[in-house]
A and B are shown apart, each in its own frame.
Chain A
Amino acid sequence: MAETKTVVDKLRIIYEGIFSMPELYAIIDNWLREKGYDKMEKKNIEKITPEGKNIELLLQPWKKITDYAKIILNIRLIATGITEVEVEREGVKVKMNKGRVQVVFDGWLVTDWENRWEGKPIFFFLRQIFDRYVFKPYTIGYENAVAKDTADLHGEIKGFLNLYRYK
């Protein structure tokens, strides 16, 4: 079985106010495409209630770094009470959304994702030795890549939401 290490655990953004839900999703999607991730939208739930729309997304985009290591970003987006509002920006009326959004990020490093070093106990032992002593600089590099990508996406979304915070 592949080994999964949690490099980033529950990095959160909580925002309440005016923003654009379609734009927020587009930012995440475009970022994933630019950074070379493969899309994986495991769950997409939309529920219309009298108080507004509730949206729940579970994204697990992944990127193969080598044939041994893979990055998976676990992104959970929960938006509640999303309603449509009209705001004036530079004299033009624009349709936006108002509500509460919470985004939680986890960054995982998966090694031996092709399960080549499983099956026999000697392979498993060799893999442990190599991972801990021989490939350690590479593994640290991969972990840094996970942390960097997660922080990058986190910063991108935070920056986007902060744009609206003071408007």
Chain B
Amino acid sequence: MDIALKPLPLILKYDGIFDLDSFYKKCVAWFEEQGYQFEETAYKAKKDEEEILWAPWKNITDYIRFTIAVRLFIKDIEEVEVIKDGKKVKLTKARLRIEMRCDPVKDYSGRFKGHPFLGKIKDFYERFIFKKEFETVWEDMLYYHLYKLQTLMKEYLDSDTKTNAFYNVW
């Protein structure tokens, strides 16, 4: 399996009150809507801290797989009750740090593995034939996909920087 790493991650930090359960469900629903196979690879919880790792993936072609890695750190978790639209609602006051990166994986099925000659063919193919298509289409597509996820998160947290002029790039 070959991984081409993007020079990210995107870091999103938020310190305030939000609905953690709803936030989680919304993000998971987004991945499922987009056709990703959602995987939660780690969940660590301490007294008032949580660390969650997501690694959703999606096969785009028989050669390219999109993978996204999201790491959520939630610290100083405190349940608070606020009045929203005239009703008492239970929300979470916490410090949230989200790190996101995307990796378009080439040859995810490992069909060029097993023989050094196949490795050389793969190398030639990826450097001289497939390179432009990979950079201008697949890498770019996944890159802006990640920004859509970030926009969703910002909208949910009601951030002042939630607009995304690149929303319809792909």
Contact of B10 among A33, A42, A82 (CB under 8 A): A42
Let me know if B165 and A53 touch, CB within 8 A.
no
13 chain-A/chain-B pairs, Cβ below 8 angstroms? A26-B165, A39-B147, A41-B10, A41-B147, A41-B150, A43-B13, A44-B159, A45-B11, A45-B13, A47-B15, A53-B160, A55-B161, A57-B161
Q: Is B13 touching A46 in the complex (CB atoms < 8 A)?
A: yes
Whole-angstrom CA separation of A43 from B15 in the bound complex: 14
A29 interfacial by beta-carbon distance below 8 Å: yes
Question: What number of B residues sit within 8 Å (CB to CB) of A?
Answer: 22
Q: Are A22 and B163 in contact, with the CB atoms below 8 A?
A: yes
Residues A84-135 near B (CB distance < 8 A): 97
Identify the B interface with A (CB < 8 A): 10-17, 143-144, 147, 150, 154, 157, 159-166
* Interface of chain A residues 11 through 25 with chain B (CB within 8 A): 21-22, 25
Count the A residues whose beta carbon is within 8 Å of the partner chain — how many? 23
The A interface, classified by DSSP as helix, strand, loop or mixed, is strand
> In whole angstroms, what is the CA distance A156 to B165 when docked?
16
Closest approach, in angstroms, between the C-beta of B154 and any C-beta of chain A?
Answer: 7
A30 is an interface residue with CB less than 8 A from chain B: yes
The 6 closest A-B pairs by CB, nearest first: A48-B16, A29-B165, A21-B160, A47-B15, A45-B13, A33-B165
Q: How far is the CB of B153 from chain A (nearest CB, A)?
A: 10
| Assembly CA distance A22 to B155 (angstroms) | 12
- Which of A26, A32, A41 has the most CB atoms of chain B within a 10 A radius of its CB? A41
- Other A-B contacts than A22-B162, A38-B143, A42-B11, 10 sampled, CB-CB below 8 A, are A21-B160, A21-B161, A25-B160, A29-B164, A39-B144, A46-B13, A46-B159, A48-B17, A53-B160, A55-B161
Chain A residue at minimum C-beta to C-beta distance from B161:
A25
Cα–Cα distance between A106 and B160 once the two chains are bound (Å): 23
Residues in A with CB closer than 8 Å to B165 are 26, 29-30, 32-33
Nearest neighbor of B159 in chain A, beta-carbon distance: A46
